[in-house]
């Protein structure tokens, strides 16, 4: 597995990581703990060393699965987790210093470790100054409980404010052929400041794999049932993108998922996408993207094919859309 460096602090991760959220929630039926542990260890055996979780996934359950899976190989992996919600209360963003400390203690226990490699603020808390958030994480770094600081779905102003207090190793936000907004302001700022980028949903929440169309029915607990981008009319309108990716992938004799991931990897050497899955076969397929080389001409051809496609539907339901920092 090829490696990539996130941030100026030299955090080395596998070029493709594993987003573990779907093991416990959001995408259909969760895996049993034993199955989740087996999947994560299978990913490691195939070269993935970068694993992403959060206290809110489950909530709490996902960290427990990740902790059990990675405990025997803790010194060989990078674990990223997140704080930032009042999980046991209102569910709203909460990054007060005392809440951050409580979250970290809980995460350390569930992850069966005494340090967190990469600690993200899950969402910006508009009620807590970013200097207080970064300052608290800086204290946790000094205490040895956290190695690197990250942010998720943060806007330019807050990235700059946080980085001025404590160097930010990585920003985690959605980015793919289906969602390219970060190219406008975020990616240039990350490059300027030397911050790594960890794209989540690099396969467009499954849409870019070519397995979702207007006839697809999601199981009851699949959160895509609430996502405007996945309502029937949006899927019909967005089908042209999936078809285009499938066609280009076929011409190159790779899968649509491999093309979509290879495209992300080709954008910058400091990007490490974290596709999620509950199937080992998909992990193997995703890893195959690291061997796909896209020439400058091929990238230009992809750009020409997709640049005129306008994606229909918001990324989240309104309540979650409102929590994205701008």
Residue 208 lies in a domain: no
Residue 235 lies in a domain: no
Residue 41 lies in a domain: yes
Number of domains in the chain: 1
Residue 170 lies in a domain: yes
Q: What is the pLDDT of residue 323?
A: 86
Residue 324 lies in a domain: no
H helices of the chain, where? Answer: 21-24, 33-45, 61-70, 97-111, 130-142, 156-165, 186-193, 232-252, 256-267, 280-287, 296-306, 318-321
Q: Copy the structure tokens of residue 309.
A: 């496609």
pTM over 0.85: yes
Domain that holds residue 181: 3-203+268-292
First to last CA, the chain: 35
The Cα 313–Cα 228 span in angstroms is 5
Residue 312 lies in a domain: no
The Cα 271–Cα 195 span in angstroms is 10
Q: What is the pLDDT of residue 163?
A: 98
The Cα 115–Cα 141 span in angstroms is 9
Residues with pLDDT less than 70, the chain: none
DSSP per-residue codes, 193-213: HT-EEEEE-TTTTTGGGT---
Q: What is the pLDDT of residue 123?
A: 97
Residue 44 lies in a domain: yes
The catalytic residues are 57
The Cα 18–Cα 187 span in angstroms is 22
CATH of the domain at 82: 3.20.20.100
Q: What is the pLDDT of residue 225?
A: 95
Residue 35 lies in a domain: yes
User: Can you tell me which residue has the tokens 């890893």?
Assistant: 287
């Amino acid at each position: 597995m090829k490696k990539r460096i996130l941030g100026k602090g030299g955090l080395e991760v596998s070029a493709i990581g594993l987003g573990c959220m779907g093991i416990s929630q959001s995408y259909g039926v969760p895996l049993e703990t034993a199955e989740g542990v087996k999947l994560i260890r299978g990913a490691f055996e195939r070269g993935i060393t970068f694993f992403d979780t959060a206290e809110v996934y489950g909530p709490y359950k996902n960290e427990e699965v990740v902790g059990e899976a990675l405990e025997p190989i803790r010194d060989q992996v990078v674990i990223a987790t997140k704080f930032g919600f009042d999980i046991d209360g209102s569910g709203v963003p909460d990054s007060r210093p005392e809440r951050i400390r409580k979250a970290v203690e809980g995460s350390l226990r569930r992850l069966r470790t005494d340090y967190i490699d990469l600690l993200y603020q899950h969402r910006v808390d508009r009620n807590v100054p970013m200097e207080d958030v970064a300052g608290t994480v800086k204290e946790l770094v000094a205490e040895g409980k956290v190695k690197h600081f990250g942010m998720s779905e943060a806007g330019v102003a807050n990235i700059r404010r946080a980085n001025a207090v404590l160097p930010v190793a990585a920003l985690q936000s959605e980015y793919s052929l289906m969602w390219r907004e970060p190219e406008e302001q975020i990616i240039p700022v990350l490059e300027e400041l030397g911050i790594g980028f960890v794209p989540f949903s690099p396969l467009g929440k499954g849409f870019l794999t070519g397995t979702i169309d207007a006839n697809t029915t999601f199981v009851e607990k699949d959160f895509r049932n609430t996502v405007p981008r996945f309502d029937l009319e949006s899927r019909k309108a967005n089908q042209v993108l999936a078809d285009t990716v499938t066609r280009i992938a076929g011409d190159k004799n790779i899968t649509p998922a491999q093309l979509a991931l290879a495209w992300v990897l080709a954008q910058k050497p400091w990007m490490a996408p974290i596709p999620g899955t509950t199937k080992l076969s998909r992990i193997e397929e995703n890893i195959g993207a690291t061997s796909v080389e896209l020439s400058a001409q091929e990238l230009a051809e992809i750009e020409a094919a997709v640049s005129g496609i306008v994606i229909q539907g918001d990324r989240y339901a309104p309540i979650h859309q409102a929590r994205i920092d701008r």
